Structure 1
Amino acid sequence: MREAVRGRGREAVGQLALTTVLYLVYRYGRLLVLHHEARAFANARSVWDLERAVHLPSETSLNAFFANSELLAIPANVYYATVHFPFAIATLLWLWVFRAPLYRWTRNVMVGLTGTALLVHIFFPLAPPRMMHDLGFVDLAAVYGESVYGSPETDTLSNQFAAMPSLHIGWALLLALALCFAFRSRWRWLFLAHPLITTVVVVATANHYWLDGIVAVALMVVVIALVRAVSAWQARRRVANGEPASAGLSPGEPAEEPGRQLVTAQR
């Protein structure tokens, strides 16, 4: 029992260290494109034109609807500024404690999604809608409350030209799906309200385009497929070496992706 507790403690320290390193790498990588303002604004024009060409709804309509209502704008600003990271940390911590196999799958997909997003941020800097005032956008945080961002000219701690893909939407959907997999209750699908609300909020506050969310979801699907392929490859290697396909997995950890074998490990 004591050895098991020590093992979980070592794992917790390792997971914390891994998360810290990945976060620092992500933050540093985003800063690599701080001085690509011209490209970022040109790309914003291209995204706007593409959305109109494929007849996506105009973000300015939703933005204007919220901008004209303090009762909508202030909660939207608060949701954008305060829910993203706390929800992610709380969900990952709960999964690690109560659904360890699902936590590992979620962590792997999140790492892959975030790493892929970083590459897009570097090679495709994109100015968010709130900077495109000539298109009719209103920065809700600037009007109704203090923004989580400083002036682009003086804010050296964050890259404000990393709108695509939207990790707010990508993370929200991934974590909501993980929580849906973690429970059997028919009410579990209510977790999907989080990515839906997040999508409305990030567009209404003029922090993201619709296409930012679409790209995030597409990348997540690709990453999930890659994680599944890697897991299958590892299982085949173990079988080729004369080991059980589940060797190397923690007790109860599924060899397949959540939604199939994982459901048998649920309470």
Structure 2
Amino acid sequence: MNARIGPAERKQEPSARPPLIRELLLVVGLFLVYKLGRQLADGRTGEAFSNAHDVWNFERAVHLPSERAVQGALLHSDTLVHVVNTYYATVHFPATVLFLAWLYWRRPVHYVWSRRVLTALTGAALVLHLLVPLAPPRMLASTGLIDTGRVFGPSVYGASPASDQLSNQFAAMPSLHVGWALMVAVGLIAATRSRWRWLWLLHPLMTLFVVVSTANHYWLDAIVAVALLGVALAFIRVPRRGSLIVRSSKEPDSSAVPESSDVPHPHSSAVPDTVPLVSSGGSR
């Protein structure tokens, strides 16, 4: 269907941007909930290590690849170890913040969708962190894995889970590193049109290699994170591309056209060429 793009429609995308203060308060609220979860996880060391042995044995029973093989490939180069440790320490949270900030300013409709998905994913993960405390493989001597962050640096964790006031080291299941990284890729693929946008999938793939090779997560942690994200995406549907109306820089603003007898009436036969609105769900 063909229709004229009016001033109200041109302003549709900016008007979808939620108040910045409210969004910042939501982020602070999520952080406080995480801190509460960290406090509730105290005193469950025995349970966390018991679950860790169960996960390790389950992975071997179903013949998942050994995390030792992945770490062995990493340990051939001290430089690579430092790069991977730095990636683990510095990319996870900043990349997600930049992703949300860019969507907020450039794709507000997709920002709201992405924020909802990330909130659902993080909320479900926090519930699992409390229900299933899990020591990461770097803490299990029987696995033969080493804590690359502690041995080579840099490390983001305290010397022991009890002394770490910022993070819950028994929150290995699921891996929010992998879940958030995959959502960043999915969100950017959905919100952009470049032929190169599929390269964003390299971010979650790199993150998966990083969290496994540094012995911070098991394969199963990543699998559960991907499954939770899949459920969230199934219930929180991506916005239709047709819901975003982008005006060409060459298109004149009809609100700036003065009223004149020379301007054709919309119902006359002299209506200028119309601009098609393309929407996967029909015209709006």
Q: TM-score, normalised by structure 1?
A: 0.83
Worse-superposed segment, 148-157 or 179-188:
148-157
Report the counterpart of residue 218 of structure 1 in structure 2.
Answer: 227
Aligned residue for 1:203?
A: 212
Q: Which residue number in structure 1 is paired with residue 200 of structure 2?
A: 191
After superposition, the C-alpha distances for 1:141-166 in whole angstroms (9 at most, x for unaligned) are 11111311012232233210000000
**In the alignment, what sits opposite 1:130?**
138
| Equivalent position to 2:180, from 167, 171, 174 | 171
Percent of aligned pairs sharing the same letter: 51
CA distance change for structure 1 residues 202 and 181 in 2, over 3 Å: closer, same or farther? Answer: same
Would you say how many aligned residue pairs link Structure 1 and Structure 2?
Answer: 234
- Alignment of 1:27 with 2:35, yes or no, is yes
Q: Per-residue deviation at 1:126?
A: 0.3
Contact 1:172 1:198 in 2 (8 A): yes
Q: Cα deviation per residue 1:53-101 (whole Å; 9 max; x = unaligned)?
A: 1110000111122123202101000000000011001010000000001
Bigger relative contact order, structure 1 or 2 (CA pairs below 8 A, ≥6 apart): 2
Decide whether aligned partners of structure 1 residues 131 and 13 sit closer, same or farther in structure 2, where only a CA change above 3 A counts: same
Q: Which SS does the other structure have where 1:153 is aligned?
A: helix
**Structure 2 runs not aligned, ≥5 long:** 1-10, 247-284
Letter in 2 for 1:212: D
| Alignment match, 1:113 | 121
CA distance, structure 2, for counterparts of residue 175 and residue 216 of structure 1: 14
1:15-94, aligned counterparts within 5 Å? 15-94=23-102
Cα pair distance change 1:210/1:61, threshold 3 Å: same
Kindly provide the CA deviation profile for residues 152-195 of structure 1, in whole angstroms up to 9, marking residues without a partner as x: 23223321000000000000001111001121111001111100
The change in CA–CA distance for 1:11 and 1:205 in structure 2 (over 3 A counts) is same
Q: Which residue of 2 aligns with 1:233?
A: none
Does structure 2 retain, via aligned residues, the 8 Å contact 1:30–1:121? no
Structure 2 Cα separation of the partners of residues 17 and 71 of structure 1: 40
Matched, 1:182 2:195: no
Deviations 1:5-51 (A, max 9, x none): xx899700110111111111122113211211111111011101111
Q: Which has the higher helix share?
A: 1
Q: After the TM superposition, which segments of 4 or more aligned residues of structure 1 sit over 3 Å from their partners?
A: 7-10
| TM, length-normalised to structure 2 | 0.78
Q: Secondary structure at the match of 2:158?
A: coil
Map 1:4-15 onto structure 2 (within 5 A).
Answer: 11-15=19-23
